[in-house]
Chains A and B, each alone.
Chain A
Amino acid sequence: MAVLTAPERTSPAPPPPRGRRARGARRTPPLVLAFLLVPLLAEAVWVFWPALQGFYLALTNWDGVSAPEFVGLGNFREMAHDEVFRTAAVDTVLWLVLFGGLSALLGLGAALLLQQERRGVAFYRAALFLPVVFSLVATALVWQAIYQPDGVLNQLLESVGLDSLRHAWLADQDTALYAVIVPALWRQVGYVMVLYLAGLKGIDPALYEAAKVDGAGPWQRFRYVTLPQLRSVNAVVLSVIIIDSLRSFDVVWSLTRGGPYHSSELLSTYMYSTAFQSLRLGYGSALAVVIFVLAFGVIASYLVRAFREAD
């Protein structure tokens, strides 16, 4: 991953001689410093400063109008007794496992199927890939039409004689979360497929030849050649999945807003509605801190990796 450069690109020209002075001038010209400081300032204003405030606000009660009142860890203690928080946390984990796991599996499967250079393969790839460019909002509305009580899915079930399975998919607490995962998957699989396709392309064909000569069957070649060779792509996909899962918001918000009765609530939607609809900005910030803590491992491992690559 340079962070995540495609494998074929991870071996750039051998690095130039590493003298202290190898990279251009010794003293940084003022213009170059300005080049760096302007973007840094933009990020500082819109990201670093707000982030610090966010962590502070998590320790307060705040309605957004009067001054924030410092309550220490009170918000986090409240979470321990908050049923909705528990639901949202469990749903987020479910989302991570189902949405993440399935998009990785399906993406890998699609990549394995579509890696062969055959006539027409570009079309199939494009078809799987097209949803990636849609906004999740548009995606969600399409699927809402499918899930309607008189929608396509129910009509389909009826036409094949499975009337008993007819359902108000999004209005039923038991099915809402799963019904929301499907469109998210539909959109994500093509993306994961692209990552795996690049990874598969990077595998040396000689390895397969050697395995064949040694008498390895297709499954063994997959198990002992493909999978180990994909290890770095797997790491990328895993990080992408975790970060995407924790960020997932648009699709749930446009389909169910977390309902009915919080049955499809994720931490991200709960955070948003707590902050901007219930106007409990302190508690919302505390929920955001929980999301941050969950993402922290991924972020840290990313940065460690980037640190190694950056020099």
Chain B
Amino acid sequence: MSATSTAVRRKRAATAGFHLGAGALAVLWLLPIALVLVTSLRSFDDIAVHGLGSWPRSFTLDNFRQAWVDGGQQRALINSLVVTIPCVLVTLTLAAMAAFALSRYEVPFRRSLLLLMLGGNLLPPQILLIPVSKLSELMGVYDTLPALIGVQIGFGVGFYVFVLHGFMRAIPVEIQQAAVIDGAGPWQIFWRIILPLTRPALAALSALSFTWIFNDLLWAITVLRSDAKMPITGALIGLQGQFVSMWNVIAAGSVIAAAPTVVVFLRFQRHFVAGLNLGAVK
């Protein structure tokens, strides 16, 4: 009797200890996020008088208007989406095609080609920055969004090919043979059989690549110059210069810049985490 009650008590203590430790950790991690949310809703005077760390004494949504309109974040967000969405779609389509060819057919040198493509993605981007900026000048696309889309696709594709190749290889060859006997060509096999079976990997990779591309700064400031064309990351840095130490506006800008990826994360959390396990290269 008393033995069980000791066990129960010990278990309860362990549970309490767990929630205390994990809770403290979670609070520590969420605190900066809470701070930026609160700051984005305070007025400039409130912060100037009472300081950033003080309890908020004002409430305004005007910071968002300033960041959105005066700070050009509306345009920047549109730029980001104009770059990110086609990039995700095109990169994954191209990668799925290449992975299909390499995993389901006896392409000569397929293994070397696969590793060559993966190797391209593993290169430190720094080695590419100067040539890529010069190349986009040469092609007449410097300081345009297509240049950014192009380099994001070219740089990303190798990694997705590798991951999808692993997935497609695991699909039993009999399925494909049955389809061949039924008279299916490569296109039908790809579109009607392999692609549907690869959906989990595609979902994971799209959630992941959305955040990678959306959050990128380095490529953007390498091939873009004018403020009007910057995606949200570049614009946020611009905002910092434009609204020096107006933390309310800068915080509102950060919230705007983070919102899309947070939405994707909350909506596709499971895929996202699966993708990270697939995608540990980055």
Contact = CB atoms under 8 A, between A and B. Distances in A.
A287 B126 contact: yes
Given A40-B98, A155-B53, A145 B281 contact: no
A288 B207 CA distance: 30
Interface in A251-308: 253-254, 267-268, 271-272, 275-276, 281, 284-285, 287-289, 291-292, 295, 298-299, 302-303, 306-307
A198 B127 contact: no
Interface string B78-104: 000000000000000011011011111
Contact of A26 (B106, B129, B253): B106
A46 B151 contact: yes
A99 B279 CA distance: 20
B127 A55 contact: yes
Contacts of A43: 117, 120, 154-155, 157-158
Interface string B243-275: 001010011011001100110110001001110
A59 interface: no
Given A113-B25, A127-B29, A135 B257 contact: yes
A144 B35 CA distance: 12
A105 interface: no
Interface in A81-138: 110, 113-114, 116, 118, 120-121, 123-124, 126-138
Contacts of B280: 1, 3-4, 195, 236-237, 239-240
B265 A250 contact: no
A261 to B, nearest CB: 21
A25 B177 CA distance: 9
19 contacts: A23-B173, A24-B104, A28-B108, A31-B185, A35-B98, A43-B155, A45-B150, A46-B155, A51-B131, A54-B131, A127-B29, A128-B25, A138-B258, A237-B280, A250-B218, A250-B233, A268-B124, A299-B119, A306-B115
Interface of B: 15, 18-19, 21-23, 25-26, 29-30, 32-33, 35-36, 39, 51-54, 94-95, 97-98, 100-108, 111, 113-135, 150-151, 153-155, 157-158, 161-163, 165-166, 169-170, 172-174, 176-177, 180, 185-187, 190, 211, 214-215, 217-218, 221-222, 232-233, 236-237, 240, 245, 247, 250-251, 253-254, 257-258, 261-262, 264-265, 269, 272-274, 276-282
Given A39-B157, A275-B129, 15 more contacts: A4-B281, A23-B105, A29-B105, A32-B101, A32-B105, A35-B97, A36-B102, A38-B97, A39-B117, A54-B130, A124-B22, A145-B39, A195-B277, A249-B218, A285-B130
